[in-house]
């Protein structure tokens, strides 16, 4: 398996992030100032313009993590492991934001910050399951074992994502069923779509940036250790000792008279 080669200039990723933030800002402004208030919930409904796009993109990123985990197990290419790591992290961040936004919306409409409703319960299970994937990647040091084990854990954790989506249809829930363009005022669709596109571009830019960082870390972890230079061998000099050099002087032999 070869280590991935990350790109050197992240200008595309930064452009996606900047464009996403601009769209989110404009969509939120239209939703707060131009779109009409909802008939039953009133002004508090305006949080929908960030809450719903956050839910869309969070589940999409977890689906990307699921697909990249499968592709890594099938191909053993490290680029998919880097994408898997990035998708899980960004998806977990958006899932946390989703829970916070939902609690803010639930307090004035349901009268409680949290309820063990089927939708909220399945979202909590999903969030903790993918937190477990991140913990697994953190504590396993060997890159191969970390990639394989976390990919298997992601496949198991993703089983809850379709349950989250269909929970409001399968069980009686405080959470409303998903709306469609036919059930919404046309003036509400523009800020919702702008924020949906902005959230998608922002998350894509963050995903690519985080994947680039993961690819660099993998390249360093999989690189062979640097070889130490061989010591310079000079011609050995004969060792002498002082005692061996000190020979007694030769005296001429004396003949007998």
CA count, 13 A, side-chain hemisphere, 52: 23
Ordered DSSP codes for 140-208? --SHHHHHHHHHHHHHHHHTHHHHHHHHHHHS--SSPPPP-GGGS-HHHHHHHHHHHHHHHHHHHHHHH
- Ranges of residues in the chain with a pLDDT under 50 are 241-245, 255-257
Q: What are the chain's domains?
A: 12-222 (1.20.120)
Residue 183, pLDDT score: 66
Surface-to-core class of residue 8, CB atoms within 10 Å of its CB (0-12 exposed, 13-18 middle, 19+ buried): exposed
Q: Could you tell me if 91 and 61 are in contact, meaning their C-beta atoms sit under 8 angstroms apart?
A: yes
Ordered DSSP codes for 125-146? HHHHHHHHHHHHHHH--SHHHH
Residue 245, pLDDT score: 45
Q: Could you tell me if 167 and 124 are in contact, meaning their C-beta atoms sit under 8 angstroms apart?
A: no
Cα dihedral 219/78/3/225 (nearest 10):
60
Residue 257, pLDDT score: 41
pTM here? 0.79
Residue 111, pLDDT score: 82
Closest listed residue to residue 147, CA positions, set 73, 207, 208, 205: 73
């Amino acid at each position: 398996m070869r280590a991935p080669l990350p790109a050197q200039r992240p200008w595309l990723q930064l452009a996606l992030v900047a464009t996403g933030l601009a769209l989110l800002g404009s969509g939120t402004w239209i939703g707060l100032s131009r779109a009409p208030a909802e008939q039953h919930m009133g002004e508090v409904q305006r949080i929908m313009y960030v809450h719903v796009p956050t839910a869309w993109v969070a589940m999409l990123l977890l689906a990307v993590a699921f697909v990249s985990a499968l592709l890594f197990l099938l191909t053993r290419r490290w680029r998919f492991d880097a994408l898997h790591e990035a998708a899980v992290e960004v998806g977990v961040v958006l899932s946390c934001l989703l829970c916070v936004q939902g609690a803010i919306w639930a307090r004035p409409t349901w009268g409680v910050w949290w309820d063990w409703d089927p939708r909220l319960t399945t979202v909590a299970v999903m969030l903790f399951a993918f937190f477990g994937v991140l913990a697994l990647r953190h504590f396993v040091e060997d890159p191969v074992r970390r990639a394989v084990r976390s990919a298997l854990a992601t496949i198991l954790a993703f089983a809850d994502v379709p349950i989250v989506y269909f929970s409001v249809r399968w069980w009686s829930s405080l959470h409303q069923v998903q709306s469609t363009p036919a059930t919404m005022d046309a003036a509400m669709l523009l800020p919702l779509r702008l924020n949906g596109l902005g959230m998608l571009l922002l998350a894509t830019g963050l995903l690519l940036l985080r994947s680039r960082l993961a690819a660099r870390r993998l390249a360093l972890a999989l690189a062979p250790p640097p070889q130490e230079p061989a010591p310079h061998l000079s011609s050995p000099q004969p060792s002498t000792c002082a005692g061996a050099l000190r020979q007694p002087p030769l005296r001429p032999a004396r003949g007998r008279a």
